[in-house]
Every structure is written in C-alpha cells, then in structure tokens.
Amino acid sequence: MKPRLLRLQKSSKESACGIGVELGTAGPGFTSTSPEEDIFMVCMSSGEPAYICLPIVSLSPHTDILNFCANNYLGLSSHPQVVEAGIEALKKYGAGLSSVRFICDIHKDLEQKLSQIYEREDCILYASCFDANAGPFEVLLGPDDAVLSDELNHASIIDGIRLCRAKRFRYKYMDLNDLETQLKESQSSRLRLVVTDGVFSMDGDMAPLKRICDLAEEYGAMVFIDECHATGFMGPRGTDELLGVMDRVHIVKSTLGKALGGAAGGYTVGPKPLVDLLRQRSHPYLFSNSLPPPVVGCATWAVELLASNEIAQFRNKMTEAGFTISGSDHPICPVMLGDARLASLMADDMLKLGVYVIGFSYPVISAAHTDQDIDRAVDVFIQTGRKHGVLS
C-alpha cells in the first residue's frame, strides 16, 4: 500500500516550517494510483513554499495508520447515522439531480436547519465551499463600495474579492490599528465590508471579532466572517458565538466539507434580502449543479450531532515533551520546526511508524481520536523528534 499526497498550500509566517498533523479517524493507508508515484510534501521556508518530493513509503496491505491530516474535526464523516442518511438519500433521489440548484428543492430542509443554527434569516447552499466565497462579493459590492480584507484570509476569499468591482483594502494580519486606518481611508465609500476568517486555517489563530465589530460599528461597516475552521466545535456554532458577537456579524460563510460530515459543499447565511439577491445573481449558484442528494442527506444529519474535542490533551503533552506549539486553543496545532527538510524527514519517519502527518500544515484535533490515538501520535512525535535532534 503506497500513500501519496498532492495537497499544496502556502504558509503565512516566515520560517514557519512545520509538521502537518490533523487528527482524524484511524483507517487504512492511502493507495497510490501508480507504483511510480511519490509522496509530495510542502513545507515553508521564509514565507515561500518548498516542494519536497519524498520516496514512496511501503506499508503492509493490512497495516492501519492514524490519519492526522484531515479536517474531520468532529469525526462525523464515518458516523453511522451520517452514513446511513447518505445511503437513504441515494436510494430515494439517486446519485445526483442533474440540474442547477435553483430548479430543485430537496436542499431546503438543510438550508432551513443551517439558518436556524446560526440564528440568521436565511441560508443559501453552494456546490463547493470555494463557490460560497466566489458568490457574494461580486453581487453585493459595486464600484462605489469598499472591501477591507485581512492579508492572510483564505485563497477563496481573495479570489472572490477579485471578482468584484469594489475598492480593495488589505489590512495587516489581525492588526486592528491597521484595520482602523483602512476604515478611515475608505470613509467616502457607499458600503464597506470587513472580511476575515473566524479562525485562520494555517496558524489556528482566532480573529479578534469583538474588536473588529467595535470598529465596524464605529465606522459604519458590515462584517463578513469565514467559519470553515470553526463551525461545529468553536462555540459550537462558530467564533461569533464563542466571542459573543453573533448579533453583530452580518454575513457568515462556512463549509459542509470539514466538521459537518466532510463530504462537500458550502453555504452563506445572513439577512433574507441578501440571500434572495444571491439566489438571483450569484453565478456559482445559478450555473453549477446542485449538491448530490447523498451529500445533502449526510450533512443534514451532521448538523444535528454534537461532539467533543481533545485539543488540550494533544497540546499539553506535546509542549511537555519539548515541542513548540503555536496558535490559540484550536484544533489546528502548529508544531514549529523551522526547517523545511527537517519537517519532511520527520513526516516520512512518522508515516513508517503508523502516524500520517504532512510537512506543511499543522496538527488538527478531531473528536474521532481516542486518548490512546493522541498518546500514540505524541509518542511518535517524540521518537522522531529525538532522532532528528529536535528534542534532546
């Protein structure tokens, strides 16, 4: 069994080389489609991607490895009720509806549940989470408006903003003084929208939403947050709930592809007039096939399920062992090594020991991992860290 990885992403921090471990369910190794294919790791050095090609690591066909590389935060992708809901939807509606979203209606129940969870007026589903960020900005903002975006927002936000004709302002990473400066400079705009990740996907840092909302209200701006790395377990509805600003955030966008079943799809919740406008003018919604019924069935069940997390256990044990763990109290747990090649070598050795990690992103804690899984991962980190001189 030959695992392979082709997931590439650019880091935000200088010299932020680190092992990528996302805590997920234990399962079989990842099968390569060709015996010649290698594992590709991406590590960061001085803010630039370093593409490292590693040799294939052969595993026994019967060997299970712990998957620490997924955003399956709540472990719901293999939850029996979630899986059964997908099977029932497949039997009832088929593999797909062969139509764009606005001419089919089995998705309405999921949209209603999501809007109720977020205590917003309405919700619109998209075929992908990327589409959910490609849709709103072009529709909402015109040449007389302004959008103020954190410089380390997700690529889908950046690309979505590029589609609109609004004036663009980029403020420094979570820098509230710079945000205020940009708000002052954009005061002549008709409408202003402050856009931020609720939790930043590479570093696990939580946006200072309370102060962002304070500034937005002071200068008459709206607030848009991306909750892909928060929905379901931070709050648990999201960072706006956790930080007590649900009634001050105007638009929330998130995903079904991480904590909520891990399949596919994204959505936007907010005021009904906004959602009505998106249904009429948002191109990714109007011109993309609707989410497949099995995905809708799985996600509908997932939004109703609760979960726990083991974040503190992993962070504490790794820190006690001598590793440097960055970020805030979030499932993304950056294990900072500072060297691209070292990160790749450690990831290679950890895979041989049955723990699948990546040398570019960071550990993500999932409810699917048992205490024993986390202990095993920490032990493998310690073993490989000592081998490569990271720990004494």
Which residue in 229, 250, 253, 317 is the catalytic one?
Answer: 229
Which residue in 258, 317, 330, 369 is the catalytic one?
Answer: 258
d(CA 194, CA 224): 6
DSSP state of 126: E
269, 123 Cβ separation under 8 angstroms: yes
**Does residue 184 carry a catalytic annotation?**
no
Helix (H) or strand (E) run with residue 63 in it: none
Look up residue 181 and give its two tokens.
């400066």
Calculate the alpha carbon distances from 319 to 92, 260, 334 in Å: 50, 29, 11
**Does residue 229 carry a catalytic annotation?**
yes
- Type of residue at 368: A
The number of residues making up the chain comes to 392
d(CA 282, CA 331): 32
Residue with tokens 């892909």: 228
- Type of residue at 298: C
Q: Hey, what long-range contacts does 316-324 have (CB within 8 A, 24 or more apart)?
A: 317/374, 317/375, 317/378, 318/363, 318/378, 318/381, 321/378, 321/381, 321/382, 321/385, 321/391, 322/385, 322/390, 322/391, 322/392, 323/381, 323/385, 323/390, 323/391
Which residue in 128, 149, 186, 201 is the catalytic one?
Answer: 201
**Does residue 154 carry a catalytic annotation?**
no
How many Å from the N-terminal Cα to the C-terminal Cα in the chain?
33
- How do strand 146-150 and strand 192-197 relate by DSSP bridges? parallel
204, 326 Cβ separation under 8 angstroms: yes
CA nearest neighbour of 225 among 159, 170, 157 = 157
CA nearest neighbour of 52 among 365, 337, 386 = 337
Greatest CA separation for the chain: 65
Cis amide bond preceding 236, omega within 30: yes
59, 274 Cβ separation under 8 angstroms: no
d(CA 165, CA 35): 48
Catalytic residue positions, numbered: 201, 229, 258
